Amino acid sequence: MEFSFLKTYNLFLLALFFLVLVDTLTLAKHEGITRHYKFNIQMQNVTRLCQTKNIVTVNGKFPGPRIIAREGDRLVIKVVNNVQHNVTIHWHGVRQLRSGWADGPAYITQCPIQRGQSYVYNFTIIGQRGTLFWHAHISWLRVTLYGPIVILPKKGVAYPFPQPFKEVPILFGEWWKADTEKIINQALQTGGPPNISDAYTINGLPGLLYNCSAKDTFKLKVKPGKTYLLRVVNAALNDELFFSIANHNLTVVEVDAVYVKPFNTNIILITPGQTTNILLKTKHFHPNATFLMSARPYATGPASFDNSTTTGILEYHKPSNNTKKSNIFPLLKPKLPIFNDTTFATSFVKKIRSLANAKFPANVPKKVDKQFFFTVGLGLNPCPKNQTCQGPNNTKLAASVNNVSFVQPNVALLQSHYFNQSKGVYTTDFPVNPPFKFNYTGNPPNNSFVTSGTKVVMLPFNTSVELVMQDTSIISAESHPLHLHGFNFFVVGQGFGNYNSSNDPANFNLVDPAERNTVGVPSGGWVAIRFLADNPGVWFMHCHLEVHTSWGLKMVWMVNDGKSPKQKLPPPPADLPKC
């Protein structure tokens, strides 16, 4: 009897063990894993346009290595600085939920990693899948320090579009023959605009339309009748870009790591800081032609810009029955819009809509706790005494948000905020509205000078925010790609001219607006966004045209801790760099 009981009991324990094991394995399948990467920041000689240049790289690669993870994975990336420059890395578009110490903008969430020092960026990818990218976030070092972040869905979860045959990262960049650190330092000293780039690049290669560059052309070899997922990233410093592939249609399926309602187009527009996933369906037969893939700028301001075109080649694998070795196929070129085609830009942006279905809802804040109205644009600073400056009428060019040109502190704001040491570092009086009203898109006011300061906006945890960003015509109207760290936001409305708070909100899209981390404020227009401040920490918002950020078009949101432990920012890691 006792033996029978023991036998039954043991069988029960065994069954329980198997149940727990199956449960654990099922959980493991859906729970993320930890992925380790090591980034050695080192100098590397690279030749482009027949000129060799010593550039800052990760692990000697340009562009830098690809990071691959699944939704829910933890990333542990050790960055070791072996160069003379101070360095930080930003994981652009990663939400960084309660991991603000790993966000990366210099003097905002961390002091830079100094020569010979290292820092481990440790964060988990929560509720995101798609294409993002990483880049340096100090001075102009991101010109060569950047690479793609590929976030795959959880295991067993399909894309909400046809499974591609192959996935290919397409990274746009900008190339200068000269040292970009010297270029921006000289521009900030003289007050004039910095020298424009010498070329744009696709995956680090300028392409065959530039002198001495035919061999430096990206080639994408494809098979007929297949679907390719192109993960497109604009990592250029200062230019929005049009992109097209000759004689091929593209289907946009995701922007900024958020799925969208698929739409067909033969041209995309992408601003610095944005990512776009597109499906490319190849022709069902070998077309006996090769096709240029081209990108060139969309530019709205009066300043000079690099009006050149970078190209790659789309080439079909030779059919197996083709025995001829020297087939020279005609090269077909795409037709891109002219550089200031705002009509195309506007109609393209309007097509981007969230999926907004049961599986991928668009959680747009319907109730707004706090409203903000920010003017974004250029301005001037007086020329220091005994100096000649290259801005208009012997001034220095500047940029601002609500006429405040942001002054970078010399200690990290997140540390100051966390340890309640704001005195002498920042003030919490950032203006909610422009300090004085004027016709923002009409004749500019007589006084174009900006004020300067390290001012921030404080937000209680879980505040729902509506922010209208208005371009101004001071110096000139211009499109500004604004990037918000720590959050995705919903683009609920946009238009041209001055925002009208009485009439415009009636047309807001609160059903399926685009969800993004970077949005273009239209030239001579406005954009309205909404987000929920559910991520405690210090979050940078800035123009992703690097020249405007250098001039001060940036500001900071500080989100206080919530009440529960899961709504609080954990203490800083032990290896957080010191200033």
Q: How many residues does the chain have?
A: 579
Q: Please check whether residue 540 is in contact with residue 515, taking contact to mean a CB–CB distance below 8 angstroms.
A: no
Both 394 and 308 in one domain: the answer is no
Q: What pLDDT shows up at residue 326?
A: 54
Task: Determine, yes or no, domain membership for 300.
Answer: yes
Q: Please check whether residue 132 is in contact with residue 275, taking contact to mean a CB–CB distance below 8 angstroms.
A: yes
Task: Determine, yes or no, domain membership for 579.
Answer: no
Query: Number of folded domains in the chain?
Result: 3
- 160, 176, 194 - which closes a domain: 160
Q: Does residue 21 carry a pLDDT above 80?
A: no
CA-nearest of 269, 287, 291 to 278 is 269
Q: Does residue 58 carry a pLDDT above 50?
A: yes
Q: Does residue 10 carry a pLDDT above 60?
A: no
Q: What pLDDT shows up at residue 13?
A: 45
CATH code, 560: 2.60.40.420
What band does 272 get if pLDDT is binned at 50, 70 and 90? very high
Both 172 and 299 in one domain: the answer is yes
What band does 322 get if pLDDT is binned at 50, 70 and 90? low
Q: Does residue 20 carry a pLDDT above 80?
A: no
Determine which helix (DSSP H) or strand (DSSP E) holds 382, and give its type and residue range: strand 370-382
Number of CB atoms found within 10 A of residue 457's CB: 22
The CA distance from 252 to 328, in Å, is 32
Task: Determine, yes or no, domain membership for 419.
Answer: yes
Number of CB atoms found within 10 A of residue 263's CB: 13
Residue 327 vs residue 264, higher pLDDT: 264
Task: Determine, yes or no, domain membership for 572.
Answer: no
Q: What is the pLDDT of residues 149-173, one digit of tens each?
A: 999 999 999 999 999 999 999 999 9
CA-nearest of 278, 244, 243, 233 to 259 is 278
Both 541 and 409 in one domain: the answer is yes
Phi-psi region of 475 (alpha: psi -120 to 50; beta: other; left: phi over 0): left
Cβ-based neighbours of 1, under 8 Å, separated by 6 or more: none
Does 573 sit behind a cis peptide bond, omega within 30 degrees of 0 on the bond before it?
no
The CA distance from 60 to 45, in Å, is 9
- 322, 354, 386 - which closes a domain: 354
The CA distance from 433 to 440, in Å, is 13
Both 475 and 339 in one domain: the answer is no
Sign of CA dihedral 341, 346, 347, 351: positive
Both 59 and 115 in one domain: the answer is yes
What letter represents residue 199's amino acid?
Answer: A
The CA distance from 346 to 522, in Å, is 8
What's the mean per-residue pLDDT of the chain?
94
Q: What is the pLDDT of residues 353-374, one digit of tens each?
A: 999 999 999 999 999 999 999 9
Both 347 and 433 in one domain: the answer is no
Both 403 and 425 in one domain: the answer is yes
What band does 48 get if pLDDT is binned at 50, 70 and 90? very high
Q: What pLDDT shows up at residue 30?
A: 57
Q: What pLDDT shows up at residue 551?
A: 98
Reading the block at residue 191, the tokens are 């007050």
Which has the minimum average pLDDT: 18-27, 78-87, 553-562? 18-27
Task: Determine, yes or no, domain membership for 193.
Answer: yes
Q: Does residue 419 carry a pLDDT above 80?
A: yes
Alpha helices in 480-558 (DSSP H): 546-551
Task: Determine, yes or no, domain membership for 577.
Answer: no
Q: Does residue 563 carry a pLDDT above 90?
A: yes
Q: Does residue 29 carry a pLDDT above 80?
A: no
Q: What is the pLDDT of residues 436-459, one digit of tens each?
A: 999 999 999 989 999 999 999 999
Both 46 and 63 in one domain: the answer is yes
Q: Does residue 250 carry a pLDDT above 60?
A: yes
Cβ neighbourhood burial of 16 (10 Å; 0-12, 13-18, 19+)? exposed
Q: Please check whether residue 435 is in contact with residue 402, taking contact to mean a CB–CB distance below 8 angstroms.
A: yes
Both 325 and 383 in one domain: the answer is no
What band does 301 get if pLDDT is binned at 50, 70 and 90? confident
The CA distance from 255 to 514, in Å, is 8
Both 146 and 201 in one domain: the answer is no
**Mean local confidence (pLDDT), 392-406:** 97
What band does 22 get if pLDDT is binned at 50, 70 and 90? very low
Q: Does residue 545 carry a pLDDT above 70?
A: yes
Q: What is the pLDDT of residues 305-320, one digit of tens each?
A: 999 999 999 999 987 7
- 160, 192, 210 - which closes a domain: 160
Q: What pLDDT shows up at residue 31?
A: 81
Both 155 and 169 in one domain: the answer is no
What band does 18 get if pLDDT is binned at 50, 70 and 90? very low
Task: List the domain range (segments joined by +) for residue 547.
Answer: 370-567
Q: What pLDDT shows up at residue 374?
A: 98
Task: Determine, yes or no, domain membership for 470.
Answer: yes
Q: What pLDDT shows up at residue 318?
A: 83
Confidence (pTM):
0.94
Q: Percentage of the chain with pLDDT > 70? A: 93
Q: What pLDDT shows up at residue 321?
A: 67
Both 125 and 205 in one domain: the answer is no
Task: Determine, yes or no, domain membership for 208.
Answer: yes
